[in-house]
Amino acid sequence: MKRTCFFLVCLGVAFGAGKIKAQLDADKAAAFAWIDANTDAIDKVSLELWNEPELSFREFKTSRTLMRYLEANGFTVQKNPGGLATAFVASYGAGTPVIGFFAEYDALAGMSQKAEPVRAPVVAGAPGHACGHSLEAAGTAAAAVAVATMMHRSGIKGTLRFYGTPAEEVGSGKDYMLEAGVFKDVDVLLGWHTSNHTRTEFEYSKAEAEMHFHFKGVATHASVSPWLGRSALHAAELMDAGVNYTREQLKEDARVQYVISNGGGQPNVIPADAESWYVVRADKNDEVADIVEWVSEIAKGAAMMTRTQVDIRVDANNHEVLPNGPLAEVIDRNLRLVGAPRYSAEDTARARKMLEGMKADPEYDPPEVVPLPRTPTQGAYSTDLGNVSWNVPTERFVVADSPYTLVVHGWQAAANAATTGLETIPVGAKTLAAAALDMYKDPALVIAARRDFEERKKGYTYRVLTPPHRKAPVYAEQ
């Protein structure tokens, strides 16, 4: 596939009160050239991840592929930080500043898909990369190697870290790493993701909490002696009904979603066990905490109504991502230096084919970098990057992975990640590399990011709803 991304040499962008000029120096030019020269090898890494999609906390082959690539390019690797079997930290260099890149690489359940513009699972019901993590991880690894190459070539001082962070989709793997102190000495943390547009994410995400409600009743024959039983399923259903009645009183930005993850075994046995799995979201974590308390009270009420018992477990609680103005500026000027992907007629035809049958007309995504907003905006997604961003100055950007808006977390995104989406990799890699090189050469940028970080946290008490010293889920490799 021919690369069609481009970069501009001296493009100004308005932000705040003045103009910021993007400059292409010798190290950035060399880093860009290295990425272009290694396109095939980088794509091979991405497709290797795409061909072996693995669920949260089970990214065994994926993490090994990334560790192998980084070790082959001069990085030292620490395995299993925070007790996560599929997490790792790869390091290059020594001293300060310490600049971190993070990469996510878990797949989504039920999203198995061939690299075709029609729905065609590789294995029905199997996972697939429908969130672009295979692209993100490979592009971030390429950026890390490109920066390390320039550090060696030009004698640039400092430490570069690549954080392999599992379980972003479900389970919040970064939280376990954060609690274990893995990020404690990082000066700034940068990353990227695929999206519908190319822009710097100078914005708040939604805060969220992930919870499980396990109801315990008494099993008995559903026809011979139903009066002896206590239905855990009835409790779960009553809870769900009660939560649905709260929606009229919730703020418009709140989201409460659930599934019954265990509804019993068979209908002629009154279920002794049932479970509901909830995700609560709102713009601010304080609001999430209030909704979690309300939902928990409803669960307890449902248990009382059915004479069952309920065990409430908060599996994850992520604050809204804390934006960082100086880091957003650095990323934005380098993203404009690199430029958004430009997609071919073949890419356009493939995207239109995937979107056939949708209710609305396909939305065209211009090959431009969206202007950086003057103040942070509000996103509708949530991520385990949130808690990290309240502990380390953090920013990321997104790159349009198609000429048309695709269905995120759908089969179209999975198919796209092995075809047209590969065009995002050089844009992501070059932008990350250029931003890191700027900060290594100008310590004032790192200092400004820290000041902005401290200012935005003023007056806020950071707390999480999850219990301390949790153990990460453990799975055996299949």
238 contacts 309 by C-beta, under 8 angstroms? no
Position 85: which residue type?
A: A
The alpha helices in 183-324, defined as continuous H runs, are 232-246, 285-306
Taking alpha carbons only, the member of 201, 194, 205, 203 closest to residue 428 is: 194
Closest to 208 (Cα-Cα) out of 284, 133, 261: 284
Angle between helix axes 26-37 and 133-154 (nearest 10 degrees) is: 130
Q: In sequence order, what E strands does 80-173 have?
A: 88-94, 98-104, 158-165
Helices (H) then strands (E): counts for the chain = 13, 15
CATH 3.40.630.10 applies to domain 12-205+322-457: yes
Q: State the Rg of the chain over Cα.
A: 23
DSSP annotation string for 326-382: HHHHHHHHHHHHH------HHHHHHHHHHTTT-SSPPPB--SSBPPPPSS-EE-S--
Residue 278 to residue 2: CA distance in whole angstroms: 44
CA distance to 125, 192, 304, per residue, from 295 (Å): 31, 34, 14
Specify the DSSP element, H or E, that contains 260: strand 255-262
Structure tokens at 249: 């009183």
Matching CATH topology for 12-205+322-457 and 207-318?
no
Instruction: State phi, psi for 240 to the nearest 5 degrees.
Output: -60, -40
Interval 234-281: pLDDT, tens: 999 999 999 999 999 999 999 999 999 999 999 999 999 999 999 999
Instruction: Using the structure block, give the residue that is written with the tokens 């003045």.
Output: 18
**Rounded Cα–Cα distance for residues 54 and 70 (Å):** 20
> 207-318: what CATH class?
alpha beta
Q: Write down the domain spans for the chain.
A: 12-205+322-457, 207-318
Q: Residue 407 class from Cβ within 10 Å (0-12 exposed, 13-18 middle, 19+ buried)?
A: middle
8-state DSSP, 263: -
- In the block, tokens 């060399």 appear at 30
Distances (CA, A) of 167 to 164, 315, 430: 10, 12, 25
- Low-confidence residues of the chain, pLDDT below 70? 1-22, 360
Please give the pLDDT value at position 18. 35
What is the tens place of the pLDDT at every residue in 207-236? 999 999 999 999 999 999 999 999 999 999
Residue labelled with tokens 């079997």? 85
Sort strands 394-400 and 273-282 into parallel, antiparallel or unpaired: unpaired
CB 235 within 8 A of CB 254: no
What is the Cα 281 distance to its own chain's centre? Answer: 15
- Residue 21's pLDDT is what? 57
Residue 425 in contact with residue 135, Cβ under 8 Å?
yes
Task: Write the Ramachandran bin of 352: left for phi over 0, alpha for psi from -120 to 50, otherwise beta.
Answer: alpha
> For residue 102, which phi and psi values (nearest 5 degrees)?
-120, 150
* Main-chain dihedrals φ then ψ at residue 105, nearest 5 degrees: -155, 15
